[in-house]
A and B are shown apart, each in its own frame.
Chain A
Amino acid sequence: MSRQPEESMKCEAISDDLIEFALGTLSGRSRSQVLDHLESCAHCDAELESLAGVVDTMLWLAPEAEPSLGFETRLIERYRASDTRRLTVRRRRASVLAVAAVLVAVLGIGVDAVLTTHGGATNPSTTVRPTSSQLTADGVVVGHVTISSGSPSWMIMDVDAGKLSGLVWCEVTLADGRVETVGKFTLSHGYGSWIAPIKSPGSLVRSARLVNTHGTVLARATFAT
Chain B
Amino acid sequence: MRTHGSYNDEASDEALLSGVAVGDDRAVLAFVRRYQRRLFGLALGIVGDPGMAEDVAQEAFIRILRHAAVYDARRGSVATWTLTITRNLAIDAVRVRRPIPTAPEDRTFLSLISNDRSPDDAASMSESVTQARFALAALPNDQRRAIVLAVMYGRTASEVASLEAIPLGTAKSRIRLGLAKLREAAAIMEAP
- Taking CB atoms, residues of chain B closer than 8 Å to A58 are 132, 136, 147, 151-152, 182
- Taking CB atoms, residues of chain A closer than 8 Å to B66 are 82-83
How many positions in chain A have a CB within 8 Å of any CB in the partner chain?
A: 50
With A58-B136, A60-B126, A161-B4 already in contact, the answer to whether A65 and B183 are too (CB < 8 A) is: no
- Give 11 pairs: A residue, B residue, CB < 8 Å, sorted on A: A16-B157, A23-B154, A24-B84, A54-B182, A54-B186, A56-B84, A62-B46, A67-B53, A76-B28, A79-B61, A83-B66
- Taking CB atoms, residues of chain B closer than 8 Å to A140 are 4-5
Q: Mark each residue of chain B from 157 to 192: 1 if its CB lies under 8 Å from any CB of chain A, else 0.
A: 100000000000000100110010011001000000
Minimum CB–CB distance from A134 to chain B (whole Å) comes to 11
Q: Cβ of B83 and Cβ of A56 under 8 Å apart?
A: yes
- Taking CB atoms, residues of chain B closer than 8 Å to A16 are 157, 172, 176
Q: Is B65 an interface residue (CB 8 A)?
A: yes
List A residues 18-75 near B (Cβ within 8 Å): 19-20, 22-26, 50-51, 53-68, 71-72, 74-75
With A57-B186, A58-B147 already in contact, the answer to whether A82 and B42 are too (CB < 8 A) is: no
- Taking CB atoms, residues of chain A closer than 8 Å to B183 are 50-51, 53-54
Q: Cβ of B133 and Cβ of A61 under 8 Å apart?
A: yes
- Taking CB atoms, residues of chain B closer than 8 Å to A15 are 176
Q: Is A78 an interface residue (CB 8 A)?
A: yes
| Bound CA span A59–B152, Å | 7
Q: Is A141 an interface residue (CB 8 A)?
A: yes
Q: Report B's interface with A, CB cutoff 8 A.
A: 1-2, 4-5, 19, 21-25, 28-29, 32-33, 36-38, 40-42, 44-46, 50, 53-54, 57-58, 61-62, 65-66, 76, 79-80, 83-84, 87-88, 91, 109, 111-112, 117-118, 121, 124-126, 128-129, 132-133, 136, 147, 150-152, 154-157, 172, 175-176, 179, 182-183, 186
- Taking CB atoms, residues of chain A closer than 8 Å to B23 are 83, 85-86, 89, 162, 189-191
Q: Cβ of A60 and Cβ of B83 under 8 Å apart?
A: yes
Q: Is A91 an interface residue (CB 8 A)?
A: no
| Bound CA span A83–B109, Å | 33
| Bound CA span A79–B80, Å | 21
With A51-B179, A62-B41, A86-B23 already in contact, the answer to whether A68 and B129 are too (CB < 8 A) is: no
| Bound CA span A118–B164, Å | 94
Partner of B58, one of A50, A62, A75: A75
Secondary structure dominating the interface of A: helix
Q: Cβ of B136 and Cβ of A61 under 8 Å apart?
A: yes
Minimum CB–CB distance from A25 to chain B (whole Å) comes to 4
| Bound CA span A104–B56, Å | 48
With A58-B136, A75-B61 already in contact, the answer to whether A25 and B32 are too (CB < 8 A) is: no
Partner of B121, one of A57, A64, A85: A64
- Taking CB atoms, residues of chain B closer than 8 Å to A161 are 4
| Bound CA span A20–B61, Å | 26
- Taking CB atoms, residues of chain B closer than 8 Å to A76 are 25, 28-29, 32
- Taking CB atoms, residues of chain A closer than 8 Å to B179 are 19, 22, 51, 54-55
Q: Cβ of B129 and Cβ of A61 under 8 Å apart?
A: yes
Q: Cβ of A79 and Cβ of B45 under 8 Å apart?
A: no
- Taking CB atoms, residues of chain A closer than 8 Å to B182 are 54, 57-58
Q: Cβ of B186 and Cβ of A62 under 8 Å apart?
A: no
Q: Mark each residue of chain A from 83 to 108: 1 if its CB lies under 8 Å from any CB of chain B, else 0.
A: 10110011000000000000000000
Minimum CB–CB distance from A14 to chain B (whole Å) comes to 13
6 closest cross-chain pairs (CB), A and B: A162-B22, A65-B41, A59-B83, A62-B42, A64-B37, A64-B41
Of the listed residues A50, A66, A162, the one surrounded by the most CB atoms of chain B closer than 10 A to its CB is A162
Q: Is A142 an interface residue (CB 8 A)?
A: yes
Q: Could you list 9 further interchain pairs (A-B, Cβ under 8 angstroms) beyond the known A54-B132, A57-B132, A59-B87?
A: A20-B157, A54-B179, A55-B151, A57-B128, A62-B45, A65-B37, A65-B44, A72-B29, A74-B58
